Amino acid sequence: MAAGKHFAALMSDRRVHINDVAMRDGLQIEAVFVPTEQKIAMVNALSQTGLSKIEVTSFTSPKAIPALRDAEQVMMEIARVPGVRYVALAPNMRGAQRALECRVDEINLVMSASETHNLANTGMTLAQSRKVLTDIIREARGRAAVNISISTAFGCPMEGHVAPETVYALGDWFASQGADGITLCDTTGMANPMQVAELADGLDQRWPGVELTLHFHNTRGMGLANVIAGLIAGIDRYDASLGGVGGCPYAPGATGNICTEDLVHMLDTMGVATGVDVDRLLVCAARLPAMLVHDIPGAVVRAGKSDSRYPPPANIEAIRARALARETV
Amino acid sequence: MAAGKHFAALMSDRRVHINDVAMRDGLQIEAVFVPTEQKIAMVNALSQTGLSKIEVTSFTSPKAIPALRDAEQVMMEIARVPGVRYVALAPNMRGAQRALECRVDEINLVMSASETHNLANTGMTLAQSRKVLTDIIREARGRAAVNISISTAFGCPMEGHVAPETVYALGDWFASQGADGITLCDTTGMANPMQVAELADGLDQRWPGVELTLHFHNTRGMGLANVIAGLIAGIDRYDASLGGVGGCPYAPGATGNICTEDLVHMLDTMGVATGVDVDRLLVCAARLPAMLVHDIPGAVVRAGKSDSRYPPPANIEAIRARALARETV
């Protein structure tokens, strides 16, 4: 079978699950405080789109990230829709306990694969993060699922190359400790499709029963190309953010996450099922610029879907008549 | 072999050829007239980057596209570098004759796969375009190579779906008439990776000896994902434009071509050879905003290459000391 047909076969009968991280990854870097009721309304709107997960907020210190100081209120007041998993990030045990008190469905914990980034991002050494995250997995058992996001899994903006073995060893540890999910994060948009295909290949067999997610940024324009490589490698879960907002406050030069509605649009056009209604997503995305008071990187919200039709020029029949008249000369 | 490894094997030992179309596709929609000496300087700079082809200008009516009214002067005064093919677009026989008088290496001819778009873009019916382009292939024989660009090959913004059979039949005709190259153009960014893999699969066998090129726009963010699909299908030639500038004046909502330096950067990081020096390209791209008096869509020129290194926070050792001090409590 030719390679193109082989690719098409590989993409058929797939079901992709999408976790929207805009309300956490997007809002945490905003200078303005988005009013709590607007956050709740946006999560409620996103709940109606068919997303598998929504990362609602982060139970971080209100002093560190004032933009998310209303984490409790948002998590308690959203209208939870059955079938949607409501996730919150927790940077430490205190945050995890706050999240558990709010009955989150899933806690997302973060540590980097590189020590310099981990120190800058979490204030902990790798050994300390590993211990804290392991303790939180135990604490949450029976109360909420736990996902481990491994930052800088595809490279560190400060240390450079990150060895795949480092990423695998971290994943092995957390899989053995009962993590429900592991996300490999390209925190600063360094990943390329070759690297993604190679790093992600066979992970479903390495960590059986663990939900595997890939998290890309579109920093160098490769975001959706990396998703194609991830799909080839067999990964069916992706983080993305509405409008493509987000970034990493500790990663210079980083731009937004891959854009949720652009991702769903691409998968829709490919015939890959996501369960997400792209039109409803586009309505949500169109509300973001007013909420954030700045433009958003998403492409489809500006260009329209690829099945958009435009009228021909008003004088098309005159053009045709002129063309045919030349014929008879 | 697992699919990720299979993909990696498919990408190894590839040599991709890139045709930069910024000076034609990018400039033709600009309101301002870029001074002739600036155009020549830019082509000369691009000639030093390792690009396989440069589409230098269009021999169109100066009234229709005043931005390119200096086509003759630009084509005659650039410093041609051996190994680089200098291409010009010609919309009709008159334009082709002007291009031949300027001793272009290759004439690029355009017709759409859909009649409405072809009428709007060229003022001719499909049958008329087919005849004119065939006549030009004969006229150019022995004097310049001829490439046929088939617009709307992946869908028409006015008519919608374009049947693959229509595209194949057009290509069959021009291959039989001695075209040296055929480019399938996603004129308005409607293509998706599944469609690309399926449409392009096996074309090298269908049109043996004909150089096959794919031309994508990043309108819905899928540009580089479509290149990955094209590579999977075996296509090694791509149009792209410096800075991602360009568009189609007759395609509402269209945004720029895929960005040359972002494409080369992706292929570099994947280990796919292009012969292009991305650093020199980035220097050229950085000059575009001043030349065009507007911002450009390219990502890498803003974010830096993915191997860029950033210093850790200035207080990283204090962070580490604080972290380790907690340990001993």
Q: Angle, nearest 10°, between helix axes B3-11 and A193-200?
A: 150
ipTM of the complex: 0.96
Considering only alpha carbons, which residue of chain A is nearest residue B312? A158
Residues 6+ apart with CB under 8 A from B97: B139
Structural domain includes residue A1: no
Summarize the confidence of residues A250-270 as an average pLDDT: 83
Looking at beta carbons, which residues of chain A come within 8 Å of B7? 193-194, 197, 229, 232-233
Task: Read off the pLDDT of residues A47-67 as tens digits, 9 standing for 90 and up.
Answer: 999 999 999 999 999 999 999
Q: How far is A35 from chain B (nearest CA, A)?
A: 30
Identify the active-site residue in A156, A248, A259, A284. A248
Structural domain includes residue A76: yes
Residue range(s) defining the domain that contains residue B132: 3-328
Structural domain includes residue A25: yes
What local confidence, expressed as pLDDT, does residue A35 receive? 97
Q: How far is B30 from chain A (nearest CA, A)?
A: 19
Residue B230 to residue B18: CA distance in whole angstroms: 13
For the four alpha carbons of A261, A263, A264 and A268, in that order, the dihedral sign comes to positive
User: Rounded to 5 degrees, what angle do the CA atoms A277, A280, A285 make?
Assistant: 120
Six token digits for residue B160:
């919608």
**pLDDT tier at A1, thresholds 50, 70, 90:** low
User: Rounded to 5 degrees, what angle do the CA atoms B114, B119, B120 make?
Assistant: 100
- Written as tens digits, the pLDDT of chain B (329 aa) is 689 999 999 999 999 999 999 999 989 888 889 999 999 999 999 999 999 999 999 999 999 999 999 999 999 999 999 999 999 999 999 999 999 999 999 999 999 999 999 999 999 999 999 999 999 999 999 999 999 999 999 999 999 999 999 999 999 999 999 999 999 999 999 999 999 999 999 999 999 999 999 999 999 999 999 999 999 999 999 999 999 998 754 444 446 899 999 999 999 999 999 999 999 999 999 999 999 988 888 999 999 999 999 999 999 999 999 999 987 65
CATH of the domain at A66: 3.20.20.70
Query: Is A102 in the active site?
Result: no
Task: Read off the pLDDT of residues A129-145 as tens digits, 9 standing for 90 and up.
Answer: 999 999 999 999 999 99
Looking at beta carbons, which residues of chain A come within 8 Å of B124? 323
For the four alpha carbons of A291, A292, A298 and A302, in that order, the dihedral sign comes to positive
Six token digits for residue B46:
């691009």
For the four alpha carbons of B62, B63, B64 and B68, in that order, the dihedral sign comes to positive
Q: Which of B310, B316, B320 to mutate to test the interface with A (most CBs of A within 10 A)?
A: B310
Beta bridge partners of B257: B217
User: Rounded to 5 degrees, what angle do the CA atoms B161, B167, B172 make?
Assistant: 165
Is B123 in contact with A269 (Cβ distance < 8 A)? no
Q: How many domains does chain A have?
A: 1
Looking at beta carbons, which residues of chain A come within 8 Å of B238? none
Q: Which of A1, A16, A224, A305 to mutate to test the interface with B (most CBs of B within 10 A)?
A: A224
